[in-house]
Amino acid sequence: MVFLSTDVISDEELTALMQAINNRYGLDFTNYERTSLKRGIIRLMMEHKMKTIIELWSVILKDKDFFKNAIDNLLVNLTELFRNPDVWIKLRDNVLRRLGRENLHIWHAGCSTGEEVYTMAFVLEAIGMLHSARLTATDLSTTALNKAVKGEYSLLLLKQYLVPFLKFFPNTGMEYYFDFQDTCATIKPKYRANVTFRKHNLVTDPMIDQFDLIFCRNVMIYFDEVLKYRVLKLLHKCLKPDGYLVIGYYDIMPDVGKEYFDIYDVKTRIYKRKN
């Protein structure tokens, strides 16, 4: 494999490529964090053995399927079942009980391949709140969403998820939640029944629903301050009074976010809506 550094792409080239993508596909990356975008582009060039951005440019603009996969590379769909188990323990023992109502409506913004929303379904079941809850899971990437809807994960992946899973459920086997086949396992239907997946771009698309709890974990890391502010404003608008927001361990709440949210628990990155 050829190793490339982010220096092979100048700021001007990045801007021009992003403008071309916006014109061709209507996707606006203007306020995405530039180093992350450059890293994503480099990953893509190395994967396809390309040495210059021009090679990538022409394929991206000509081939829609290539572009769809490229998007995943740029956005990095990495996720995990029970990612950061402490968050789920805090939600189970504290936040969900405080919300404590029937008919909870929860939004997973940037749900990637679905592990986060299915984790939520498992947690809700454990405290008897799944039956009346509605879970909305959205992402910009169609490829990720298609995988999420299927709810099918390779056994290799599940093996990686075992440690955080056991931290939350030390006494329950994964077969309680998954139907196992030879090389993969599928989420059991009862955990999908309350989940609606849909394509949604946090930066450009409106959201009219009102939620008790919103997850937006490890999505804003790719956004600059302008975009973070815009997204936080949207999340605030979509939270019911007394609602909670969970961000990722690596997300940094910008100063402007303090206008909209109070820290609820620093360790688990949980915030409460300011009214």
Ligand X SMILES: C[S@@+](CC[C@H](N)C(=O)[O-])C[C@H]1O[C@@H](n2cnc3c(N)ncnc32)[C@H](O)[C@@H]1O
Candidates 16, 20, 54, 78; binder of ligand X (CB under 6 A) is 78
Among the listed ranges 7-15, 58-66, 94-102, 198-206, the one in contact with ligand X (CB under 6 A) is 198-206
Q: With respect to ligand X, which residue has the nearer C-beta, 58 or 76? A: 76
Q: Is 114 in the site for ligand X (CB under 6 A)?
A: no
Least Cβ distance, residue 29 to ligand X (angstroms): 9
Contacting ligand X within 222-261 (CB under 6 A): 222, 248
Among the listed ranges 45-53, 71-79, 182-190, 258-266, the one in contact with ligand X (CB under 6 A) is 71-79
Q: Is 136 in the site for ligand X (CB under 6 A)?
A: no
Q: With respect to ligand X, which residue has the nearer C-beta, 188 or 230? A: 230
Q: Is 45 in the site for ligand X (CB under 6 A)?
A: no
Candidates 46, 61, 203, 207; binder of ligand X (CB under 6 A) is 203
Least Cβ distance, residue 77 to ligand X (angstroms): 4
Q: Is 40 in the site for ligand X (CB under 6 A)?
A: no
Least Cβ distance, residue 120 to ligand X (angstroms): 11
DSSP states of the chain as a string? -----GGGS-HHHHHHHHHHHHHHH----TTB-HHHHHHHHHHHHHHTT--SHHHHHHHHHH-HHHHHHHHHHHH-----TTSSHHHHHHIIIIIHHHH--SS-EEEEET-TTTHHHHHHHHHHHHTT-STT-EEEEEES-HHHHHHHHHTEEEHHHHHHHHHHHHHH-TT--GGGTEEE-SSEEEE-GGGTTTEEEEE--TTT------EEEEEE-SSGGGB-HHHHHHHHHHHHHHEEEEEEEEE-TT----GGGGGTEEEEETTTTEEEE--
Find out whether 245 and 235 touch, Cβ atoms under 8 Å: yes
Q: Is 137 in the site for ligand X (CB under 6 A)?
A: no
Q: Is 140 in the site for ligand X (CB under 6 A)?
A: yes
Q: Can you give the binding site for ligand X, defined by CB under 6 A?
A: 75-80, 83, 110, 112, 116, 139-141, 144, 201-203, 217-219, 222, 248
